[in-house]
Structure 1
Amino acid sequence: MDEHEPNHQDHDLISDAGNEIKGMAREGMNHPSTKPVLTGAAVGAIAAGILPVVTWPIGLVAGAGFMLYKRLRP
């Protein structure tokens, strides 16, 4: 690997996330990140339904955000 070539971790997380979200919006279910992010959103919403202090929308966003982060930074 070239020492001047940036590693994936060196890229800006916000711009990477924006590009990934745009790709998911364009390609829909055919994009490789769509299914894991939707699964994370569902798991977060269910977990929030079980927990007494967290509402399901917060759990949904947290679950989707976590899975998107794991797709960008494995």
Structure 2
Amino acid sequence: MDEQDPKHQDHDLIPDAQEEVKSMLKQGLDHPSTKPVLAGAAVGAVVGGVLPVVTWPIGLIAGAGFMLYRRLRP
């Protein structure tokens, strides 16, 4: 097993996500995470609308959440 710690091991995900969302709300489209998260939400909504089990709101939330996670933990 690798002895090195993961890149973001010293931070908790929830406080990092809260801080990122707050700054996204303050800066709007000028924030570097806003556009990728909105694109992920749109893709998730489309996929959720196509799949028979998942509805578009669940897809929207899942897509946005996934892209936010990818921005916080590359």
User: Does the pair score TM above 0.5?
Assistant: yes
C-alpha RMSD over aligned residues: 0.8
Question: Where does structure 2 lack aligned partners over 5 or more consecutive residues?
Answer: 1-6
Give me the whole-angstrom Cα distance separating, in 1, the residues matched to 2:9 and 2:62. 22
- Number of residue equivalences: 68
Gaps of 5+ in 1: 1-6
TM-score by length of structure 1 reads 0.89
TM-score by length of 2: 0.89
Percent of aligned positions with the same letter in both sequences?
Answer: 74
Q: Which contiguous aligned blocks of 4+ residues in structure 1 show a shift greater than 3 angstroms?
A: none
Residue 10 of structure 1 and its aligned partner are, at CA, apart by 1.9
Question: What aligned pairs does 1:1-74 form with structure 2 within 5 A after superposition?
Answer: 7-74=7-74
Which has the larger share of helix?
1
Matched residue type, 2:57: P
